[in-house]
Structure 1
Amino acid sequence: MHYVCPACESENKIDLTFPVEEYVCKTCSHLIDAAGNKQTKHLKVPTENVVLDVGQKGKIEGTEYTVVAIIVKRYGTNIFWREYYLKDSKGNDAFLSESYGHWVFLISIQPNDFKSKSSKLAIYAERTYRWYETSPCSIYAAAGFFDEHLDFNLATYKEYVNGTRMLSKETVGKKNQYFYGVHISKYDVKRAFKIAHMPYYTGVGIVQPYYFDIKQAINIFCIAALLICLCQLYVYTSRTNETVFAQTINFTDVQDKEMVSNSFTLSGGSAPLKVNAFSGVDNSWANIQLSLVNEKTNEIIYTSKDIEQYHGYEDGESWSEGSQSEDFNLCGVSSGQYHFLISAEKDGALPTFSGLMSPDAKVTVSRDRSGMIGITNLLSGQTTTFTDGKILEKDTSEVAILTKKSFGTQKLDSLINAEALRLTSDPISSNTYVQLKATWLPVSFWNFGFIIFIMVALFVAMWIGKYFFNVNKWKNSSNSPYATS
């Protein structure tokens, strides 16, 4: 249909056929009475934040609509919102309302469908809506084609809200109209009408949904938790924590050198390898250096651990700190064939002793803190020193031969180390070894518990966030269900 403006003789067209009572000339902005073909009023042109044009088409929920009119309404002196009048090909009405960048899609409903439950509650389609606010407003600007005469008197909107749905009761004089609306995303509007730019939104819209769907989040978290529990149950029943390495290492065997352990196999997915180190420290320390070697890739994981224990009395009270046992993890170790490279040291030197007499009472042996071995010939009273037991074993001097013969063994170093433990009274010197035990931990509840904790924390955060979101949504209402300070 098309109309020629009697004021400026411009042609006004729209690609729809419906009974037009009035239209606003797109050229001169006069309101024209279609039946009498005469101008009645000059109107302001809707411009600010208006993103749709009269005649523009778009598809919403599978139905194609044409924008037939645009009205800008004003509340007070500086609050405006825009209403876009839509019609489908059958002449059915719909509306898009936009305020501060928030969009609502509305349709007309029959007065009998709107039931007032009380002054603050209304019912539509068996759903209860809470009164939000009552706003007086007037028409500020208009454009397009109208199937009824525009009423420029002060209108009153009484709005009711339930989540992302709303009811609106428009009263002009004695005439009432009722509308049902739902939130529509600005991106859906943009796609429907192929709009290049959308107005920025501020604040929280009257029917704006929360950023997260709490019910959907509950379903997702519950399903995820169930799957995690099932996976953990499978791991727990199909795998076991296994001790893969255990050995006692003498400090004398790794003094200034590394010991290569026996090989062991780790089977399964990547998991921590837990190592326990024990040493009989007593007001002293020990240190263990451990290298885990992958025999296939030669990849090395290195770690070092101190074992310390100290105790005493101070101001009449006993105190202690440290432990003789330390646990540590080598994390993310994959399956494969491995061995350890081990070295260790401790506080103090080798166990000191004196007066180790040979069975035939011909020689005595002693060792000082520096590790020097002293051999005393009891017949002559002379003492000869050797750097350590290994040197003594290899020595061919008269005193060395006498010592080997008197003790009846060539392995003097082992004999001296063994007897030193029995003869020494120094607690530091008595600590001669470190025990290592490595346990493969394919079954771990730490990650399982951490993930469950994170999901619970996220849900609680979303729940609290929704509460404050709704408080902000209702802050402009005089009927907020949330306590206000």
Structure 2
Amino acid sequence: MHYVCPACESENTLDLTFPVEEYVCQTCSYLIDVAGNKKTKHLKIPTENVVLDVGQKGEIDGIEYTVVAIIVKRYGNSIFWREYSLKDSKGGDAFLSESDGHWVFLVTIHPDDFKGKSSKVKTYQGRNYRWYENTPCSIYAAAGFFDEHLDFNLATYQEYVNGTRMISQETVGKKNQYFYGVHISKYEVKRAFKIAHMPYYTGIGIVQPYYFDIRQAINIFCIAALLICLLQLYVYTSRTNETVFAETINFTDVKDKELVSKSFILSGGSAPLKVNAFSGVDNSWANIQLSLVNEKTNEIIYTSKDIEQYHGYEDGESWSEGSQSEDFNLCGVGSGKYHFIISAEKEGGLPSFSGLTSPDSKVMISRDKSGIIEITDIFKVQTKTFTDGQTLEKDTSEVIRLAKASFGTQKLDSLINTEALRLTTDPISSNTYVQLKATWLPVSFWNFVIILFIMIVLFVAMWIGKHYFNVNKWKNSSNSPYPANDN
């Protein structure tokens, strides 16, 4: 439609499908009576926080609407909100109301559909709506095209609320209109009308939804708990708990080097691998370094553990601390083929001795604390020195052959270690080995319990948060369903 303003003779054009009774000139802001083609009132132009323009189109719930009018309403001297009148292609009415950045989408309803149970509670389509507040207001600014004359008298809005829905009863003089409104997010409005910038919202809107959907959260938590239970049951039933590694490691075998263990297989779901380390420490310490190697992925889990045990007497009383045995876990070990890389050390040197003579008195063996071994041919007065037992075992010299024959053994290194323990008087030196035992533990239920506990705590926090959210939503109402001390 095309209208020429009688005040400034400017053109006002908009493709409309309804009869216009009044419009506000886009140039001079006079309210024009179409029937008399005369100006009736000069109006303020809606500007502050107005994000839609007259003639702008947008789609809500699959229906395309055109913004045909904008009215800014005022309550008191400083409270304003904006109402955008929308028309669909068939001339049907709808409205967008925005206050403090909170949006409500409204449509007109028949008064007979809104029935009163009492002065404070009324029903619409089977839902109870609680009276929130009465709000007197007047028109502060306006723009666009109107299918009826604007009424500048004081209007009263009586609002009833149910969650994210509301019924608004507008009374101007003897005329009553009823509107059904639902919360619509600013992002939906922005997307529908392709708006670049939206007004910031403050406070809590009258039909603003809680930040979380409690029912949806319950469904999600229940499904998550069920899945965790099924996963825990699968992990628990799909594996056996067994000792997968047990070996005694001599300190001499890992002196300045590492020992690679035999491979072992773990089957089933991930679980902790418990390792027990024992060493006969006595007022001394030992240290074990352990690397668990996944032979498929080459992933390595490394750990180090001290074994310490000390005791004595002080002020006539005995004391002790530490232990000869230590337990530790390698957590979250999955199924696969593994082996250990082991190294160890202890306080003090190896058991030292001297004068170990063969039964036929032909050979004498000695070892000092650094591990140096001396084998002497007594008759020839010839001595040969070795840095460790392994070097000795690989030697094929005449003195070694004589020593093996004289002592009646093919394992001189084992003989030396055994006799060293018998001959030494040093308790630290007598500790020659560490025992390792690895057991794949039963599946731990602690993670399961912790996750469920966290979910319960989150749900309780959300429930309490929703209560205080609603308390704040109703704090401006004189008919709040929450006690005054909750505010």
Structure 1 residue 216, shift from structure 2 partner: 1.0
Structure 1 residue 138, shift from structure 2 partner: 1.0
After TM superposition, list the pairs within 5 Å mapping 1:11-30 onto structure 2: 11-30=11-30
| One-letter identity of the residue aligned with 2:58 | G
After TM superposition, list the pairs within 5 Å mapping 1:90-101 onto structure 2: 90-101=90-101
* Cα gap change, 1:60 to 1:257, in 2 (>3 Å): closer
Structure 1 residue 364, shift from structure 2 partner: 9.4
**What is the aligned partner in structure 1 of residue 251 from structure 2?**
251
Greater Cα offset, 324-333 or 440-449: 440-449
CA contact (8 A) 1:281 1:324 kept: no
After TM superposition, list the pairs within 5 Å mapping 1:99-248 onto structure 2: 99-248=99-248
**What is the aligned partner in structure 1 of residue 288 from structure 2?**
288
| Alignment TM-score, normalising by the size of structure 1 | 0.83
| One-letter identity of the residue aligned with 1:199 | P
CA contact (8 A) 2:68 2:144 kept: yes
* Cα gap change, 1:31 to 1:322, in 2 (>3 Å): farther
Structure 1 residue 73, shift from structure 2 partner: 0.3
Corresponding residue SS for 1:436: strand
Q: Residue deviations 1:32-65, cap 9 Å, x none?
A: 2333333221111112222222233322212222
| Alignment TM-score, normalising by the size of structure 2 | 0.83
**What is the aligned partner in structure 2 of residue 325 from structure 1?**
326
Structure 1 residue 198, shift from structure 2 partner: 2.2
**What is the aligned partner in structure 2 of residue 83 from structure 1?**
83
Q: How far apart, CA to CA, are the structure 2 residues paired with 1:30 and 1:389? A: 110
| One-letter identity of the residue aligned with 2:106 | L
CA contact (8 A) 1:85 1:96 kept: yes
| Gaps in structure 2 of 5+ consecutive residues | none
Structure 1 residue 389, shift from structure 2 partner: 8.4
Structure 1 residue 286, shift from structure 2 partner: 0.9
CA contact (8 A) 1:22 1:33 kept: yes
Q: Residue deviations 1:308-343, cap 9 Å, x none?
A: 23345556574534562221316556623x433322
Structure 1 residue 68, shift from structure 2 partner: 2.2
The number of residue pairs the alignment matches comes to: 480
Q: Residue deviations 1:160-210, cap 9 Å, x none?
A: 222111122222234332221100112222222233332222232221112
CA contact (8 A) 1:270 1:442 kept: no
* Cα gap change, 1:402 to 1:233, in 2 (>3 Å): closer
Structure 1 residue 93, shift from structure 2 partner: 2.0
Q: How far apart, CA to CA, are the structure 2 residues paired with 1:309 and 1:170? A: 86
* Cα gap change, 1:348 to 1:479, in 2 (>3 Å): farther
* Cα gap change, 1:191 to 1:240, in 2 (>3 Å): same
* Cα gap change, 1:294 to 1:61, in 2 (>3 Å): closer
After TM superposition, list the pairs within 5 Å mapping 1:46-61 onto structure 2: 46-61=46-61
Structure 1 residue 219, shift from structure 2 partner: 1.0
Structure 1 residue 274, shift from structure 2 partner: 3.8
**What is the aligned partner in structure 2 of residue 278 from structure 1?**
278
Q: Residue deviations 1:259-305, cap 9 Å, x none?
A: 33223234457665443322232332111122344556666554322
Corresponding residue SS for 2:257: coil
Greater Cα offset, 425-434 or 248-257: 425-434
Q: How far apart, CA to CA, are the structure 1 residues paired with 2:167 and 2:296? A: 72
Corresponding residue SS for 1:428: coil
Greater Cα offset, 72-81 or 61-70: 61-70
Greater Cα offset, 228-237 or 356-365: 356-365
Greater Cα offset, 5-14 or 59-68: 5-14
After TM superposition, list the pairs within 5 Å mapping 1:317-356 onto structure 2: 318=319, 320-322=321-323, 324-329=325-330, 335-336=336-337, 338-351=338-351
| One-letter identity of the residue aligned with 2:325 | Q
Corresponding residue SS for 2:211: coil
**Residue 32 of structure 2 corresponds to residue 32 of structure 1:** yes
CA contact (8 A) 1:121 1:131 kept: yes
